Structure 1
Amino acid sequence: MKQSFAIIGLGRFGASVCTTLVETGQEVLAIDRDEDRVNEYMDIATHAVVANAEDEMALRSLGLRNFDHVIIAIGEDIQASILVTLMAKEMGVKRVTAKAQNLYHAKVLEKVGADHVVHPERDMGERVAHHLISKNILDYLELSEEYSIAEIRIENHKFVDRTLLELNLRQRFGLNVVAIKREGVKLIVSPSADEMVRLNDTLFVIGETVDVERFDEIMN
C-alpha cells in the first residue's frame, strides 16, 4: 500500500532512504537546509524542499503531521535531531523514525517520543562483521537487543533434501523460516512444512540472536 514519507536530512543515510522509498513507489517529501542537496533530489523525490527543520512554523507549513511516517536523518547535529523529533511528535506525526549517533543519543530520542531509533553505522558494522566471520551468513539484521533475522546459505549436507518439518528448526533451534531463496525460482515466502530444502538454498530465519548464531555454527 502506498504511504507518504517525509525525510528530514539528505546526508548519506537520508538520501539512501529517500531513493529506496521512491523506487518502491512511495510518496516522499525530502527536506534539507542545504539547497544544493535539495536540488540533487528534486527529480528523485516526489517533492524536495529547502527548509530549516528546527523552525517549527516551517515544518507546520509543510503539513508534517499529515504524513504516515517521518524519518529524521539529521547527521552530526544531535541537538537538532532531538529537537526535530520532539516537535514532530508534538505535531501529531503518527510514526517517527530517528537516526542516532550513539547509545546516549538513542536513549534521548526514545524519551522524547521517537517510535523507532536506528543506528546505521553500528548496524552496518554488525552486518559486515557477521558476513566476514561466516561463510554461510549472507546478510544479518538485528531487530532488537534479543532478536535477529539472517540469510543463511545451506551447504551442510545434513540439512539437504529434507523437509522443513523433518528439520524442525523451530523445536531444535528456536528459529522460524520466513522465506527460502532458491536459484532460478521465485522467492518462496512463508514456505509450507513439506517444502524440501535443497543444496545452496538460502533460508531467511528469524529468532533470538544466540539461536541464529548457534545455527550458523552448525552450518559451518
Structure 2
Amino acid sequence: MRSLLVIGLGRFGRHLTMSLAEMKNDIMVVDKDEKIVNKLAPYVSSAQIGDCTDEVVLRDLGVANFDICFVCISDDLETSLVITSTLKELGAKKVVTKVNRDLHVKFLLQNGADDVIYPERDMAHRTALKYSVKEAFDYVELNEHYGIFEIAPPKSWLGHTLKEIDVRRKYHVNIIAYKSADKISALDREMYTFNLDEHLIVAGDRKNFVNMVKQKL
C-alpha cells in the first residue's frame, strides 16, 4: 500500500482517485469544492477542503510523508506551477503533475515536477495505434516514444519460432511475453513457436513497432 496525495478533483482527479482506491492505496484528496470532497470522502483515507496555492495549507498536509503527490490542475498553468514547486520546497518525495499542452511539460519539469501526466496526448496515441494497426489489441505508453503492445502474431509468423523470425535484430523491438486465455507468461526461449491462439506482448519504440506490423515479414 502506498501513501498518495491527490490535489485537484476535476474529472481526471476524481477518476484517478477512484482507480487508486480500487488498488487499496492510502489516499488523501484535497480540493476547494466542498461538495466534490464530500462525495469522494467515503473512498479515501482523508478528504480535505483547501486552497493548495496557499503554502500554509500544503505544509499542514504533511506533504513530505506521502510517497507520491499528484497535482491534477492542468487548466491553469500558473496554479499548477505554484503548487508543484511549493510541494518540492516542502520536501515532497515525488510530484506527478497533469498537463494538457506540450508547452507546459517543460515548465513543470523545470519547476519541481518529477513526472507529468498528459492524458489527452496519451489517449490520442493509443487510439491512433489501435485503429491504424488491426493486429494491435492494447497499448501502454511508457514515455513519448516507447511502449508495451499487445498484438496478434502476423500470419507469416505462424508455425515459425522466435529464433527463425529474429524479431529483435530485424525490427528492433522485444517480445517479452505471450498471452493465452488471459494468462501472461514470460517468453524466454528462442524455440517458442508462434500460433494463432496466443497474443504477443511487445516492448519497444512505437515507430519500430508500427514498421514491424506493417511489413509482416
- Does TM, scored on the shorter chain, surpass 0.5? yes
Structure 2 residue 184 is matched with structure 1 residue 204: no
Judging changes above 3 Å, is the alpha-carbon distance between structure 1 residues 17 and 165 closer, same or farther for their aligned structure 2 residues? farther
Cα deviation digits, residues 18-54 of structure 1 (max 9, x gap): 1111111211111111111111111112222111111
Give the conservation status (yes or no) of the 8 Å contact 1:78–1:101. no
Which 5+ residue runs of structure 1 have no aligned equivalent? none
Structure 2 residue 144 is matched with structure 1 residue 145: yes
Q: Please provide the CA RMSD for this pair.
A: 1.8
Structure 2 residue 94 is matched with structure 1 residue 87: no
State the shift of 1:209 in Å.
2.0
State the shift of 1:216 in Å.
2.1
For 1:69, the equivalent position in structure 2 comes to 68
Cα deviation digits, residues 158-195 of structure 1 (max 9, x gap): 22233433332212211112332222x5221x322144
Identity %: 33
- Rounded to whole Å, the distance in 2 between the matches of 1:51 and 1:179 is 46
- For the residue of structure 1 that corresponds to 2:42, the secondary structure is coil
For 2:155, the equivalent position in structure 1 comes to 157
- Rounded to whole Å, the distance in 1 between the matches of 2:194 and 2:46 is 45
Give the conservation status (yes or no) of the 8 Å contact 1:68–1:94. yes
Deviates more, 1:198-207 or 1:8-17: 198-207
Judging changes above 3 Å, is the alpha-carbon distance between structure 1 residues 138 and 170 closer, same or farther for their aligned structure 2 residues? same
- For the residue of structure 2 that corresponds to 1:53, the secondary structure is coil
For 1:174, the equivalent position in structure 2 comes to 172
Judging changes above 3 Å, is the alpha-carbon distance between structure 1 residues 219 and 23 closer, same or farther for their aligned structure 2 residues? farther
Give the conservation status (yes or no) of the 8 Å contact 2:176–2:188. no
Cα deviation digits, residues 37-72 of structure 1 (max 9, x gap): 111111112222111111111111111111011111
- Rounded to whole Å, the distance in 2 between the matches of 1:138 and 1:34 is 39
- Rounded to whole Å, the distance in 1 between the matches of 2:21 and 2:195 is 35
Cα deviation digits, residues 106-149 of structure 1 (max 9, x gap): 11101102111121111111211211222111223433333222
State the shift of 1:17 in Å.
1.5
1:11 maps to a residue whose letter is G
| 1:70-149 equivalences in 2 (<5 Å) | 70-149=69-148
For 1:3, the equivalent position in structure 2 comes to 2
Structure 2 residue 23 is matched with structure 1 residue 35: no
